[in-house]
A and B are shown apart, each in its own frame.
Chain A
């Protein structure tokens, strides 16, 4: 670095001499003088030096490389599928043929008649379904009966019976 005397002697407005700028950025004693001679040196005084990211260069580089590796893997996988559409088409055709074959076999092939052991048959026999009678009779004292208007004689009559005391599965 040049001396303060050399710096002050060679300092002039708009100087771009690296030696002068280097001194400007490192010597606090000359800063006032430099700014008085050229006010633009005010902001120039904070430039120049190499800065290190938080955590240091190594950690930064490692982080960048991790992301690069990740992207490279993504690109590689993506490209494999994009570059080989014929392989994909062939694989799809094989899958489709297998599925169709299985379906045809299932519907056309004769099924063997398997004898069921009577004990198993008894256990697995479904219980008879009990259905409710078509017509049920209920008695209600507080029902509201609403008869819906009809378009004419051909339309069926619709009657709504509203009673909160009636069973819900009616």
Chain B
């Protein structure tokens, strides 16, 4: 009965055999299959890179590097694990390296620069502009560590569960929840400093 039910419930797992099959074809020496894999995963990889890095050109470079690393390490892929988890792990490794280098460069130059947006009228209600959110996120997420930012993006923007993120990063689920809690706290503090009108959203709830 359980087997019948499993067949009837559509899950993401149904997509996985295709990826695995494609990887097997590539491992047997078919470069065209790799091209197909790149085409299939570009939006996913680039999207994650863009949200983590916050810059289209850098995100594109990182995404390309991810696919080249994927090509070089494809023989190490273990088909017992979901391909996307393995792919995301590769993205996180490359992106974290990039962010660490970028952070050390920027800390040396821009340590005292801050963008402060003051509220026009403290009594006035906040009107959230979708187009502004991305800029606000890029500004306030700069206080997060690369790992915290990675976890925040995967959880809140890519809608991955804590268990999946833990598998990707090779850590415990409790560690993921911990990083997420700290990331939210740090971002709220930074919102208070840079975007007080948006920080009030969280204060009102409290």
A48-B157 in contact given A53-B63, A60-B46, A64-B67 (Cβ < 8 Å): yes
Contact in complex: B42, A46 (CB < 8 Å):
no
Q: Does A139 contact B (CB under 8 A)?
A: no
Contact in complex: A53, B60 (CB < 8 Å):
yes
**Cross-chain contact of A47 among B59, B156, B198 (Cβ < 8 A):** B156
Contacts of B47 in A (CB 8 A): 49-51
A64-B64 in contact given A21-B159, A43-B133, A43-B137 (Cβ < 8 Å): yes
**B interface residue count range (under 10 / 10 to 19 / 20 to 34 / 35 or more):** 35 or more
Contact in complex: B42, A43 (CB < 8 Å):
no
A-B contact count (CB 8 A): 105
Q: Does B39 contact A (CB under 8 A)?
A: yes
Chain A interface, >50% SS class = helix
Contact in complex: A47, B158 (CB < 8 Å):
yes
A46-B39 in contact given A32-B128, A71-B71 (Cβ < 8 Å): no
User: Would you list 15 pairs from A and B whose C-beta atoms are within 8 A, ordered by A residue?
Assistant: A32-B127, A32-B128, A35-B126, A39-B202, A40-B156, A43-B152, A43-B157, A48-B157, A55-B60, A58-B39, A63-B64, A64-B64, A68-B68, A71-B71, A72-B31
Given contacts A45-B133, A65-B38, 5 further A-B contacts (CB under 8 A): A44-B156, A47-B51, A53-B42, A65-B35, A71-B68
